Amino acid sequence: MKRSLYPISVKNTLGDLYKTPVGHDILDKLLLQLNIDPFWITNPVVSNIPLSMVKKLAGSKLDPGFFDAIIALINQEKDVPCVSNAPITPAWWKEAVFYQIYPRSFYDSDRDGVGDLKGILEKLDYLKDLGVGALWLSPVYDSPNDDNGYDIRDYRKILSDFGSMEDFDHLLSETHNRGMKLIMDLVLNHTSDEHAWFQKALKDPSCPERDYYYIIPDPEGKTPPTNWISFFSGSAWRYFPEEKVWALHLFSKKQMDLNWDNPALRQEILSMVNWWLDKGVDGFRMDVINYISKEHLPDHSLPQGNETIGSLMTFTGIEHYYYGPHLHDYLREIKEKAFLPHNAFSVGETPGLGMNMCRMVTGQERKELDMVFSFDQLETPGHTRFDDYLYDLNYYRDYITNWMLHYGNNCQMSLFYNNHDNPRMVSKVTKDPAMVFPVQVLLAGMQFTLRGTPFVFQGDEMGLTNYAFSSMEEITDVESVNLYQELIEKGKTREEAFATILAGTREHARVLLPWNEDIPADQKAKVHKLPAYLFQEADPSITAIYKELIALRKNSHALIYGDFALLNRKRDRFVYKRWDEKETFVIECNLGKTVRKAAFLPKDMTLIFRTEPYKNEPKETLGSYEIRIWKK
């Protein structure tokens, strides 16, 4: 891609916009949100329309600044992504299977109802045996737990519910003793309002920490400084009546956004990151890391969000920080001053970034992040997490194929369906209990045979589904609690509001794992109960299948670094090939419930994997959601 089109202005056409890397990502995102096929833009009639004309045609339907906001984002990116076909550079984090632990609900060693570090320690052998190569711990730092640890009060202290720093050090060395790596969760976009920096900043207008945050004095306190909307409902500004100031919080009212433009703050962050790296942790998952650089107006105030973008994307103001003006600079600074000297790994959580933007932050030549989590595979077009709908895996096939073919060998993709922020994917794909097992095997089969780094979320390997919460009383997550309140205020009945929460709540992923052990009666309600056919009775169990598939990937250069080709993408079919000079695999998937004829029946390959219970069926038949792996 060349930069010859720049600077983009309203004289350019929609097609021009789509040719720029950032414009392409933005338009794709809008089309996805609106469930419109990209052909709508690429067809010659529409693509030749100048933006000035679209503006005129749209009249008052679009906020006047809509295109200006998008054009500003496009022109702000001075680089174009590089897409390399050179051989992939090997790295441990491309080979390892990661396993995400949400410590609160992983394993509760002292039976107080909360998972803990000793619990993780007790399960290290289990994880090693599963074939896991690296652990990602969701936050274990000291925190008032308004957002379960994503609101950090002290970056250098362990939350007492989880244990002590000694327990952490022990866990780290025992993880390393087993040949596994450990990465921490780094929350750098915000701190808790109880963090010492914020407490000082609030009380003392002249202290250096004041400028670590976005704190705006206002004696009246009637109108927030901007119209930005928080991800956890309502305004993104909290008023502190005693101090008569507003403070910015993109997440909960107790998660105060940090001002990364302040060099002293960045210095504090670097020293803390290096402190953990000196301890020997192998890297970090970086929470909403693409939000750290906020756009300022010339007078240093924050700009208003565009209302049209706000109504399309729900979170008014997002265009001013999700791909901010200094994002690349700040990422490079951490890379250079902390990660590179320690040979540490980084995976950024980057909501909203499309393929080009992901390339811009993960291309190995750019020295920013090693990898990112992008999220557009988690819901099908036109749907959001809180919609109750059936996920069509044909969308996943097309989405992932596009990334497999185009992301570039200089970028490594993360492969995941679940994390602590989402309901379980298997429950989105099927509501039929008899299909849960084959769907889970299908998801795992694709995850370990596509190209990229797989991230297993705790419980995936146990076949966990969503939890049947029966009322709001069982739900404590701040996002769900606030959204429920918002829905009621907007006039929804309690039943309607609860149904919405049930579809999308993060709580599904946060119930204690069932380890099939004796649990005190008063704790039982908190433990996820599994349908027996999934966990115990199936033979082999879903856990054994995970183990088998992880081992297959681990021992195959072709599956880790090999090429990818799509062989068949007819409705409900996904047939793809992975190969290197030594081995070839062909994977055939049935993405639907209907039993069909197999499309790929080679004479010169061996069938090395087939979903239970289809192993004894004729090879010509592809069972419901079956996945099979051929090898040569």
Write out the residues near ligand NOJ by the rule CB under 6 A.
147, 150, 187, 251, 287-288, 349, 420-421
HEC states along 333-356?
Answer: HHHHHHHHHHCCEEEEECCCCCHH
CB of 288 to ligand NOJ, least distance (A): 5
Q: At what angle do helices 433-449 and 542-554 cross, to 10 degrees?
A: 10
Q: Looking at the annotation, which residues are catalytic?
A: 287, 349
Cβ density class 597-621: b for 16+ within 10 Å, e for less: ebebeeeeeeeebbbbebeeeeeee
CB of 191 to ligand NOJ, least distance (A): 10
Residue nearer to ligand NOJ on the CB measure, 147 or 461: 147
Q: Which residue is nearest to ligand NOJ (CB)?
A: 150
d(CA 393, CA 69): 34
Residue 70, phi then psi, degrees to nearest 5 = -70, -40
Give the nearest distance from C-beta 194 to ligand NOJ in angstroms. Answer: 15
- Take residue 106 and report the two structure tokens written for it: 């992983």
| Nearest CB to ligand NOJ, comparing residues 308 and 418 | 418
Looking at beta carbons only, is 104 or 610 nearer to ligand NOJ?
A: 104
- What is the distance of C-alpha 375 from the center of its chain? 5
Distance CA 102, CA 512 (A): 9
Give me the least distance between CB of 272 and ligand NOJ, in Å please: 16
Looking at the Cβ atoms of 252 and 306, the one nearer to ligand NOJ is 252
Contact (Cβ atoms closer than 8 angstroms) between residue 69 and residue 43: no
Give residue for tokens 């992939």.
88
Which of 96/256 has CB closer to ligand NOJ?
256
**Cα–chain center distance at 361:** 15
Instruction: Work out how close the CB of 85 gets to ligand NOJ at its nearest, in angstroms, rounded to a whole number.
Output: 33
Task: Tell me how far, at minimum, the Cβ of 256 lies from ligand NOJ, in Å.
Answer: 11
- Output 288 or 404, the one with its CB closest to ligand NOJ: 288
Beta carbons of 93 and 283 less than 8 angstroms apart: yes
Cα-only R_g, the chain: 25
CA proximity to 244, closest of 203, 294, 303: 203
**Pair of tokens at residue 73:** 């984002």
Q: Give the residue from 484, 509, 482 showing the smallest Cα distance to 496.
A: 484
3-class secondary structure, 236 = coil
Report which residue type is found at 340. Answer: L
Antiparallel, parallel or unpaired: β 237-240 and 245-248: antiparallel
Q: For ligand NOJ, give the closer residue by CB, 266 or 420.
A: 420
Q: Lay out the sheet containing 453-457: strands in order across.
A: 371-373, 345-349, 283-286, 181-186, 134-137, 98-101, 453-457, 414-415
CB-nearer residue toward ligand NOJ: 99 or 150? 150
The one-letter amino acid code at 27 reads L
Q: Minimum distance between the CB of residue 150 and ligand NOJ, rounded to whole angstroms?
A: 3
Residue 505 sits at the vertex; the CA angle it makes with 535 and 459, to the nearest 5 degrees, is 25
d(CA 393, CA 395): 5
Question: How near is the Cβ of 13 to ligand NOJ at its closest, in Å?
Answer: 37
Decide: helix, strand or coil at residue 627: strand
Whole-angstrom distance, CA of residue 360 vs CA of residue 338: 20
Q: How far is the CB of 420 from ligand NOJ (least distance, A)?
A: 6
8 A C-beta contact, residue 113 and residue 533:
no
Q: How far apart are CA 453 and CA 139, in angstroms?
A: 21
If we measure between CA atoms, which residue out of 562, 453, 509 comes closest to residue 98? Answer: 453
Instruction: Return the number of the residue (214 or 546) whose C-beta is nearest ligand NOJ.
Output: 214
Minimum CB separation of residue 127 from ligand NOJ in Å reads 21
Q: Specify burial of residue 498 (Cβ count, 10 A radius: 0-12, 13-18, 19+).
A: buried
- Count CB-CB contacts under 10 A for residue 280: 13
- If the CB atoms of residues 257 and 319 are measured against ligand NOJ, the closer one turns out to be 257
